[in-house]
Amino acid sequence: MTTTVDPEKSQANTPRPADERIEGTVFTPRQVGMLKVAVVVMGVMLLAGLAAVIAGMIFQASKVGKKSAADAPAAAAAPDPVAMEPVASGALEALSIPGDAQVVSMSLDGHFLALHVRWRDDAEIVVVDMRTGKVVSRLNIDKGAPPAR
């Protein structure tokens, strides 16, 4: 005796109601489908974020050692009692001061050199960028009376 099973009437092909739970879980087929979509979207977002971090690291690493126009110091308009001779690389090679001038002290901070220069009756602090060989700023030292408190 042979039994014929009608595939259209079998339980595997019968549509389930939308609120029927999948056996062994608390999820409906619609919720499982939404979870699959959420997992795929979050995976793509994770990979895109990782790619953005790597691209940012490569971009930042490519800027190391390059000078921008915003980083270049402004040249002083006053006559320079301390003349500098930059070498081809832009670094400071030699420093010339007037014959009656004296370097009282100096301090190095990174690529900036601060010089306390005294000549005649004047004194000033000169800050030099060692990479470019240019004077970044000057501070005249006033020997007047101290300010009242």
Render pLDDT for 107-129 as a digit per residue (tens, 0 to 9): 888 888 898 888 777 888 888 88
Q: Which residues contact 82 (CB under 8 A, 6 or more apart)?
A: 95, 96, 97, 101, 115, 117, 126, 128, 135
pLDDT at 75: 46
pLDDT at 61: 92
| pTM across the whole model | 0.37
Cα–Cα distances in Å, from 2 out to 5, 47, 136?
Answer: 10, 56, 101
pLDDT at 33: 93
**Residue ranges per structural domain of the chain:** 8-62, 69-140
Instruction: List pLDDT tens digits, range 14-44.
Output: 665 667 888 888 899 999 999 999 999 999 9
- What tokens appear for 39 in the block? 């997992």
Q: Which residues contact 15 (CB under 8 A, 6 or more apart)?
A: none
Q: What residues are paired with 120 via a beta bridge? A: none
Instruction: List pLDDT tens digits, range 30-87.
Output: 999 999 999 999 999 999 999 999 999 999 999 887 766 555 555 444 445 555 555 4
